[in-house]
Structure 1
Amino acid sequence: MPLIIVCIGIAILLVLIMFFKLNAFVSLIITALIVGYMEGMSILSITKSIENGVGSTLGYLGLILGFGAIFGKLMAECGAAQRIATTLIDKFGEKHVQIAIVLTSFIVGIALFYEVGIVLLLPIIFTIAIYAKVPPLTIGISAAAALSATHGFLPPHPGATTIAVIYKADIGLTLLYGIIVAIPAALLGGPFLARFLKKFDHEIPKDLFNKKVFKEEEMPSFVVSVIAALIPVILMTLATIGKMILTKKSGMQTFFEFIGDPVIALLIALLIGFFIFGINRGKNMKEIEKTAGSAVSAIAMIIFIIAGGGAFKQILIDSGVGKYIVTLIQGTNISPIFLAWLIASLIRIAQGSATVAAITAAGIMMPIIQVSHVSPELMVLATGAGSLIFPHVNDTGFWMFKEFFNLSVPETFASFTLMDTILSFVGLAGALTLNAIIY
């Protein structure tokens, strides 16, 4: 019954948005109320869950989206995004520019959660789309595929690393297996899928990007532009490495954890960006403040929609849908690798968060590893793959992608949802194949 209620809730949400044209944020809150009531939650607990869902989502993503939007706007308005984009096009050629953005996204995404990475890459994605004369979505889907692949398969990304720690997997071996799986997964979910998405050619959302064409002397150098863009990545990578090699709770590890926190890392990058992309390019603080204001106002509704998705997700968690799925699966006699993927998949579809799905599934499967002698490294890949499958209306990344690329809900299903699902099945196939070959 809980799963039927979830399906009814999703159907109500789609009807409100697609047929009644109701604002997505309002639709998500209404749906969360209906699903919570149908799941048997009390009225007070429903409102509390919605408040907690909005608060926990915005507490993390609100600052990241705000800092990231301002940083991206500064990059776009000083010509840094144009410099990176044109250099990539020159080096790879317009025909292979999607491969260039996949490589860039792997570098950016190795230490960043999807939400952080896509915000940082937006100005580069939009600039490449304009100069290569292709729909923004075809570049964006390639970037998103690489970001999702790093999340599911590649330590030292926080998502994959967390699963590896739970399974007590070897980080280096997990990374090696992860690369073998992540590369074909990202290419299939990105550049290959992009061939079929050219019909979704929409204008870039107003105020998210500056279409001004800069002269050569007006732009910062490629090296400066790339290093500045990678500051959050570098700081988060240092924090991840610090956790592996430094003594727990030492002063040095605490310092690296602080500067490597996504919010702090983006804040540091933004402060440096104020100088490199602002003051050093001849802008005064009043002009920089105007840029920051326009950047934040451009993503205001996006932030509210994401908050609504967080409320819906929290209702599904607090109502016990995830636990219900676990009870259905336990006791089955199937491959541990497939079982880890299946549990993570069902939890992901039910409650939206890839991280929650992966960690929950890992906790369930840990005892099975100890008695089945299955490779913990391949279990990391299978669990990560399952956590990527079928993002939909209860996933914040779904709404971010929809709004950033100016898509309708059906178009988001046909692009973003399909992309992550392709990655999920390729990850499962890769884990099973490696298990058959190696073990």
Structure 2
Amino acid sequence: MPLLIIALGVLLLLIMIMGLKLNTFVSLIIVSFIVALLLGMPMSDVVGSIESGLGGTLGHIALIFGMGAMLGRLIADAGGANRIATTLIDKFGEKRIQWAVLFASFIVGIALFLEVTIVLLIPIIFSIAKELKVSIVHLGLPMVTAALATHAFLPPHPGPTAVAAEYGANIGLMLIYGIIVAIPTVILAGILYPKLAKRIVPTAWTREGSESFGVAKTFKEEEMPGFGISVFTALFPVILMAIGAAVDILQAELKFDNNLLIDIIRFVGNSSTAMVISLLVAIYTMGIRRNIPIKKLMDSCGSAINALGMLLLIIGGGGALKQVLIDGGVGDYVASIFADTSMSPVFFAWMVAAILRICLGSGTVATLTTAGLVIPSLGTMPDVNLELVALATGAGSAIASHVNDAGFWMVKESLGMTLKEAFGTYTVLSTVVAVSGLVFTMILDIFI
């Protein structure tokens, strides 16, 4: 019965979002109430469970998410993202232009959300494609691959950050492992798969993209910050979190005691602290150092937060549904089914996330709902590496982007493809990211 109730809940969610066109957050909350009652939860406990799930999810990630949004907007508005992209393209040259776009998108994608990365970089590659007389799809697929991989695997993106918090995984370690997994994944999906896709849907490579996406804020050479400082600012939170994670690894291996220096490094390397410090660094490097008025910088930060409100609510709604599933006993039921399973917890988390992603469309909601189903079963599985389980969940949440995913439509429209072409390129490409992410995560599991 619990699994049937979940299936009905997912179906109802799809009907509300796709059929009735209800807001995703509203749909998630309504479905949370209905699922809670169907699972037999006492009516007096339902509201508390929903509030607990929503608040508990947002309580940990709101600071990281908010600071990350402001950091990304400051870099973009200052011209730093343009500088990173154009410099790498110049350095790599015309023959390796796909590698240049992939590398630039990966760096920019660490600091910016999936949709923002696409909106920001599409006009740049649109211009390059026209100049080099190549299809925008030739450059667009590496770009969206990098954006999708960073979105699925790397904090401070909402899905990885939220699921790491739910599992109790170390965000710094997840970041390091995520980069290790993401690099071969984006090469497979962003460089090698497009060669095959060109044979499957050759008509896609005749597309010139949508002119509406070709208009972007242009910067004069002297208006953009330097390449080095732009990369440093974008990667600064990654550097801080990586240092904190490295200290944790070394301490576990060398068995040295805590001291003031270790406490300071661990404090600075904490994901929340790292994002606050990184934002202050960005305010200086992208603004004050270049004599940009502080009011203009704060306007950029404010616009980033304004665009964030509904996305935060949707993440909170996913957390509410997750908590209802846990409190309603679904997690314990699933755990009992897999109590004697020999299935790898990494594969188990990936499989659940993949199924939910295909059904729900939202990768972030899929990761949060997966956590509610997987957490109780982790106690029955020995030697669980929580960081790799979190990575596998992120990988599963990237699979088979299709018509119920807003990102699918953004990619389709920006690259000017038909539905068939979008299925043959982006839908399959996202599946390659998901499967490759699982494979490389399981390989990593052998060595750590």
- TM-score, length-normalised on structure 1? 0.71
User: Which residue number in structure 1 is paired with residue 396 of structure 2?
Assistant: 389
Kindly tell me: are residues 25 and 383 of structure 1, through their superposed partners in 2, closer, same or farther at Cα, counting changes over 3 Å? closer
Q: How far apart are residue 229 of structure 1 and its match?
A: 1.0
Q: For the residues of structure 2 that align with 1:320 and 1:391, how far apart are their CA atoms? A: 27
Kindly tell me: are residues 262 and 432 of structure 1, through their superposed partners in 2, closer, same or farther at Cα, counting changes over 3 Å? closer
Kindly tell me: are residues 29 and 159 of structure 1, through their superposed partners in 2, closer, same or farther at Cα, counting changes over 3 Å? closer
Q: Secondary structure at 1:131's aligned position in 2?
A: helix
Q: Secondary structure at 1:295's aligned position in 2?
A: helix
Paired-residue identity, %: 34
Q: How far apart are residue 257 of structure 1 and its match?
A: 2.2
Q: How far apart are residue 204 of structure 1 and its match?
A: 9.5
User: Which residue number in structure 2 is paired with residue 154 of structure 1?
Assistant: none
Q: How far apart are residue 270 of structure 1 and its match?
A: 0.8
Q: For the residues of structure 2 that align with 1:341 and 1:236, how far apart are their CA atoms? A: 23
Q: Secondary structure at 2:396's aligned position in 1?
A: coil
Q: How far apart are residue 106 of structure 1 and its match?
A: 6.5
User: Which residue number in structure 2 is paired with residue 229 of structure 1?
Assistant: 234
User: Which residue number in structure 1 is paired with residue 131 of structure 2?
Assistant: none
After superposition, residues 270-281 of structure 1 pair within 5 angstroms as 270-281=279-290
Kindly tell me: are residues 42 and 326 of structure 1, through their superposed partners in 2, closer, same or farther at Cα, counting changes over 3 Å? same
8 Å CA contact 2:9–2:35 kept in 1: the answer is yes
Q: How far apart are residue 356 of structure 1 and its match?
A: 7.1
Q: How far apart are residue 59 of structure 1 and its match?
A: 1.6
Q: For the residues of structure 2 that align with 1:26 and 1:125, how far apart are their CA atoms? A: 26
Q: For the residues of structure 1 that align with 2:387 and 2:67, how far apart are their CA atoms? A: 32
Q: How far apart are residue 423 of structure 1 and its match?
A: 4.2
Q: How far apart are residue 294 of structure 1 and its match?
A: 1.7
Q: How far apart are residue 120 of structure 1 and its match?
A: 6.3
Q: For the residues of structure 1 that align with 2:224 and 2:238, how far apart are their CA atoms? A: 22
Q: Secondary structure at 1:366's aligned position in 2?
A: coil
In the alignment, does 2:224 pair up with 1:219? yes
Bigger mean CA deviation after superposition, 140-149 or 4-13: 140-149
Counterpart residue type for residue 68 of structure 2: G
8 Å CA contact 1:51–1:311 kept in 2: the answer is yes
8 Å CA contact 2:398–2:433 kept in 1: the answer is no
- Which residue of 87, 95, 119 corresponds with 2:112? 119
Report Cα offsets for 1:400-422 as digits up to 9, x if no partner.
96899799xx99x9799876654
After superposition, residues 75-224 of structure 1 pair within 5 angstroms as 75-93=75-93, 99-100=99-100, 102-103=102-103, 117=110, 119=112, 125-133=118-126, 134=136, 138=141, 139-146=143-150, 148=152, 179=180, 183-191=183-191, 211-224=216-229
User: Which residue number in structure 2 is paired with residue 11 of structure 1?
Assistant: 11
- Which residue of 239, 244, 247 corresponds with 1:242? 247
Q: For the residues of structure 1 that align with 2:298 and 2:35, how far apart are their CA atoms? A: 42
- Which residue of 254, 265, 269 corresponds with 1:260? 269
8 Å CA contact 1:78–1:281 kept in 2: the answer is no
Q: Which runs of 5+ in 2 are unaligned?
A: 127-135, 156-160, 357-365, 414-418
User: Which residue number in structure 2 is paired with residue 31 of structure 1?
Assistant: 31
Counterpart residue type for residue 298 of structure 2: E
In the alignment, does 2:309 pair up with 1:300? yes
Q: How far apart are residue 391 of structure 1 and its match?
A: 6.0
Counterpart residue type for residue 237 of structure 1: A
Q: How far apart are residue 322 of structure 1 and its match?
A: 2.3
Counterpart residue type for residue 11 of structure 1: L
After superposition, residues 43-62 of structure 1 pair within 5 angstroms as 43-62=43-62
Kindly tell me: are residues 91 and 421 of structure 1, through their superposed partners in 2, closer, same or farther at Cα, counting changes over 3 Å? same
8 Å CA contact 2:322–2:371 kept in 1: the answer is no
Q: For the residues of structure 2 that align with 1:227 and 1:236, how far apart are their CA atoms? A: 14
In the alignment, does 2:435 pair up with 1:425? yes
Q: Which runs of 5+ in 1 are unaligned?
A: 110-116, 152-156, 370-375, 393-397
In the alignment, does 2:303 pair up with 1:316? no
Bigger mean CA deviation after superposition, 309-318 or 233-242: 309-318
Report Cα offsets for 1:245-280 as digits up to 9, x if no partner.
244543323222221222221111111111111122
8 Å CA contact 2:331–2:374 kept in 1: the answer is no
Q: Secondary structure at 1:235's aligned position in 2?
A: helix
Kindly tell me: are residues 358 and 18 of structure 1, through their superposed partners in 2, closer, same or farther at Cα, counting changes over 3 Å? closer
- TM-score, length-normalised on structure 2? 0.70
Kindly tell me: are residues 189 and 8 of structure 1, through their superposed partners in 2, closer, same or farther at Cα, counting changes over 3 Å? farther
Q: Secondary structure at 2:218's aligned position in 1?
A: coil
| Equivalent residues, number | 394
Q: For the residues of structure 1 that align with 2:152 and 2:61, how far apart are their CA atoms? A: 17
Q: For the residues of structure 1 that align with 2:272 and 2:442, how far apart are their CA atoms? A: 37
Q: Secondary structure at 2:289's aligned position in 1?
A: helix
8 Å CA contact 1:340–1:386 kept in 2: the answer is no
Q: For the residues of structure 1 that align with 2:140 and 2:372, how far apart are their CA atoms? A: 28
- Which residue of 331, 340, 345 corresponds with 2:340? 331
Q: How far apart are residue 5 of structure 1 and its match?
A: 1.0
Q: For the residues of structure 1 that align with 2:310 and 2:390, how far apart are their CA atoms? A: 33
User: Which residue number in structure 1 is paired with residue 345 of structure 2?
Assistant: 340
Kindly tell me: are residues 275 and 431 of structure 1, through their superposed partners in 2, closer, same or farther at Cα, counting changes over 3 Å? closer
